[in-house]
Amino acid sequence: MNNELITWLIPLPPLIAFGLIVLFTNRSNRLSHSLAIIGAGLSWLLSMVVFFFAISANGVKEKALISNVNWLPTGDSWLKIGVQVDALTAIMLFFVAWTVLMIFIYSVGYHNFGQPKGEHDLPGKQPHGAFVTGTDGKEKHVLSIEPMYARFFAFISLFAFAMFVLVVSNNLLTLYIGWEIMGLCSYLLIGFWYAKPSAKAAAQKAFLTTRIGDVFMLLGLASLYTLTGSLQYEVIFSEQWLHFLTSHTSPVFGMSWAALIGILIFIGTVGKSSQFPLHVWLPDAMEGPTPVSAMIHAATMVSAGVYLVIRFFPILSAGYEAGGPLTTPMMAMAVIGSFTALFSATIAVAQRDVKRVLAYSTISQLGFMVAALGVGAYVAAAFHLVTHAFFKALLFLGSGSIIHGMEHGVLHTGEHVDPQDMFNMGGLWKKMPITFITFLAGGLALSGFPLITAGFWSKDEILSGAFNGGFIVVFVVLAIAALLTAFYTMRQISLVFFGKPRTMAAAHAHETKWTMTLPLSVLAFFSITAGWVGIPEAFPGLGGILPNWFDSFVGSMLHAEGHETVHHSSVPLITSLAVALGGLLLGYLVYKNIKDTQTDPMEWSLGGIYKVLANKYYIDEFYQWAFIKPAKWLSETFVYRWMDLFVIDGFFHGIAKLGLGLGNIFRQWFDLPVINRGGDAIASGTRRLGADLKIFQSGRVQDYMLLSLAFAVVGAVVFFVILF
């Protein structure tokens, strides 16, 4: 088969699975998950075919694979859509296909396939567990299957479809289509347990917060389309149009069109990849089932946001030369990215929920990538995107496995503790060895543990990119964030796995099934090895043993002049070693042997700051007060009650009243007195006259004689007077 056709086909299997599950197989759990996994598996297979074609000798390094069809008729031309495979698409396909497939397999175990139905389980609620009678005759409380099992697989299939559409697109329009369908899927999946008020709120928050970014992005899209008449990458990133966009001034603040469009597109990323100030939705997104968190945090949503800015780097950086001043969008990315990286790392330090720590770490790591692009470290950003996807998917799935084990313990012991609070855990490494080993691999990768983990190589690239580019502020901020990252990661690992179990539930936790541990192992493999393809050649000792394949492959995407400069200094290397090891050590020392389930040792050391951090700087509260309440007031009271009901309807009612009033006036002052009474008056007047004249009509001949005599006399007198 030819590779063009295969690329077109990549997104389809999950879509077909979605359709089939929704329409036909939603009553059968087994069929539904089989369909979903077959769909994801086919996409995985096709992606791998395309990936290996892409990296082969006559692959896409020189020339991208592009295929178009006409989609929208616009006047005398057509808007084309199509697919494209180049180096960036290839590496995206690689990690998306792997993580998606692993998440799908994991979901089977996570949603307790094969477990009994719970007596009190309802659709829209997390399963509560079921009672079964064991072989020994005793009644046991065990985990129960998710009541909307089939629906879950339908939704994540659609999610995977949207991500594949986004990745293989060769134009901004279908990218946007995938982008928005992912928004819907994240909404449906975060709110999967819709009966929970917190999940319901989190779903709306996710959709609306990202939509703020989306509407700006839509404007960027419209501008680009208006100016260049196309949305295809090959056209809009061509030298000719880039030159046009940089040399023409837009109506906003005298920016060039390239800068304005870059900013608009970047706002889309701020929403989707959860950068400050639109970061608030991502931590709440963990209200959904854990595989969804892994989807959102690694395989799809947030990666899509970073992918967008990497893809649009030619426009974002249009006019930038290495060593020269940053363009406006790059400046924005450098500032927002590094700020977000540090800001959310500080929040992560003070969280107790095992998933919430990871959520803030995602935001922080995305900040790293955005900042890297901002300082022009294109390859480093792409590299970190790939490695992060693997280890973050791993960490989320691992945390799901931990929670699962804890829930097992909770049901077994009947103890009422929060199975997600890290302070209720401890000593789990003995109970859940596979989860422990894999989680450790992911955690070390996240902290950037030197040499063996993937995270070290990609993070080191970012730090050295910032340092060598001369952006010392960005470098320092990111280094502090990296230190905090290592610290909170080790805090998490120590709290969960080390020490002694702090609750009965933790003491009775249980390793999860193979459907969950297998994906963990696969992802752990990539979390370690994915970094080895990008070891810089100048790295002391190790450089050059393996070729720096990633740099030459993905670097081929850039036009020659945008490529970062390659001076290698040992400062960033020493820094990344120091922050990673220092943070890990500090985290281990503080948290290795916690006994108390209530207080965090940080609370007394940080004092009031801890409370601010634990409450995420009160940003949610601020938004509630500054935006959400006013918006509700504006819509309900101002626009609806005052403007529509009072002013506009009041006006129409006024006209109606005026009409009624005028009618009344006519009735009272004209109709009644003039027409009615006037008419009556004529009638009664005539009658009265008749009655008065009646006396003359007596019927007696003598009277008439007398009358005629009288008239004759009067007539004669008149005649006489007139005549003479």
Terminal-residue alpha carbon distance, the chain: 134
The span of 2-10, 277-285, 640-648, 674-682 binding other proteins (CB under 8 A) equals 640-648
Residue 638 CB, nearest approach to other proteins (Å): 8
Instruction: Return all residues near 404 (Cβ < 8 A) that are at least 6 apart.
Output: 109, 110, 143, 512, 516
Distance of CA 174 to the CA centre of its chain: 17
> For residues 188 and 509, which CB has a smaller minimum distance to other proteins in the complex?
188
Distance of CA 318 to the CA centre of its chain: 27
Among 119, 321, 649, 703, binds other proteins (CB under 8 A): 649
Does 662 help bind other proteins (rule: CB under 8 A)?
Answer: no
> For residues 169 and 548, which CB has a smaller minimum distance to other proteins in the complex?
169
The span of 202-210, 426-434, 484-492, 578-586 binding other proteins (CB under 8 A) equals 202-210
Provide the residue count of the chain: 724
Among 56, 74, 569, 624, binds other proteins (CB under 8 A): 74
Q: What is the number of H-type helices and E-type strands within the chain?
A: 32, 4
Sign of the torsion angle spanned by Cα atoms 337, 343, 349, 354: negative
Q: What is the DSSP letter of 432?
A: -
Does 191 help bind other proteins (rule: CB under 8 A)?
Answer: yes
Does 249 help bind other proteins (rule: CB under 8 A)?
Answer: no
Does 686 help bind other proteins (rule: CB under 8 A)?
Answer: no
Does 5 help bind other proteins (rule: CB under 8 A)?
Answer: no
Does 462 help bind other proteins (rule: CB under 8 A)?
Answer: no
Does 218 help bind other proteins (rule: CB under 8 A)?
Answer: yes
> For residues 121 and 551, which CB has a smaller minimum distance to other proteins in the complex?
121
Distance CA 87, CA 567 (A): 24
Residue 224 CB, nearest approach to other proteins (Å): 10
Exposed e or buried b per residue across 25-41, where buried means at least 16 C-beta atoms within 10 angstroms of its C-beta: bbeebebbbbbbbebbb
- Residue ranges of alpha helices (H) inside 627-700 are 629-632, 649-666, 678-694
Residue 431 CB, nearest approach to other proteins (Å): 34
> For residues 325 and 650, which CB has a smaller minimum distance to other proteins in the complex?
650
Among 80, 128, 141, 211, binds other proteins (CB under 8 A): 211
Among 70, 599, 624, 664, binds other proteins (CB under 8 A): 70
Distances (CA, A) of 331 to 315, 436, 541, 638: 13, 40, 35, 39
Does 8 help bind other proteins (rule: CB under 8 A)?
Answer: no
Neighbours of 24 (CB within 10 A): 12
Does 222 help bind other proteins (rule: CB under 8 A)?
Answer: yes
Residue 453 CB, nearest approach to other proteins (Å): 38
> For residues 194 and 588, which CB has a smaller minimum distance to other proteins in the complex?
194
Does 27 help bind other proteins (rule: CB under 8 A)?
Answer: no
Residue 221 CB, nearest approach to other proteins (Å): 8
Mark residue 244 as left, alpha or beta (left: phi above 0; alpha: psi -120 to 50; beta: remaining).
alpha
State the Cα angle at 209 between 126 and 442, rounded to 5°: 60
Instruction: Return all residues near 536 (Cβ < 8 A) that are at least 6 apart.
Output: 460, 461, 464, 543, 548, 551, 568
Read off the tokens for 639.
């626009």
In 3D space, the residue among 158, 150, 164, 165 whose CA is nearest the CA of residue 187 turns out to be 158
The span of 122-130, 482-490, 579-587, 592-600 binding other proteins (CB under 8 A) equals 122-130
Does 676 help bind other proteins (rule: CB under 8 A)?
Answer: no
Does 644 help bind other proteins (rule: CB under 8 A)?
Answer: yes
Residue 23 CB, nearest approach to other proteins (Å): 10
Distance CA 368, CA 462 (A): 7
Residues 164-183 that bind other proteins (CB under 8 A): 173, 176-177, 179-181
Does 652 help bind other proteins (rule: CB under 8 A)?
Answer: yes
Cis peptide bond upstream of 197, omega within 30: no
Q: Using CB under 8 A, count the residues that bind other proteins.
A: 61
Residue 668 CB, nearest approach to other proteins (Å): 23
The span of 31-39, 210-218, 443-451, 547-555 binding other proteins (CB under 8 A) equals 210-218
Does 113 help bind other proteins (rule: CB under 8 A)?
Answer: no
- Mapping DSSP to helix (H, G, I), strand (E, B) and coil, where does residue 66 land? strand
Read off the tokens for 564.
């970062």
Contacting residues toward other proteins, per CB under 8 A: 22, 70-77, 122-125, 173, 176-177, 179-181, 184, 187-188, 191, 194-197, 200, 203-204, 207-208, 211-212, 215-216, 218-219, 221-223, 225-226, 229, 251, 631-632, 634-637, 639-641, 643-645, 648-649, 652, 656
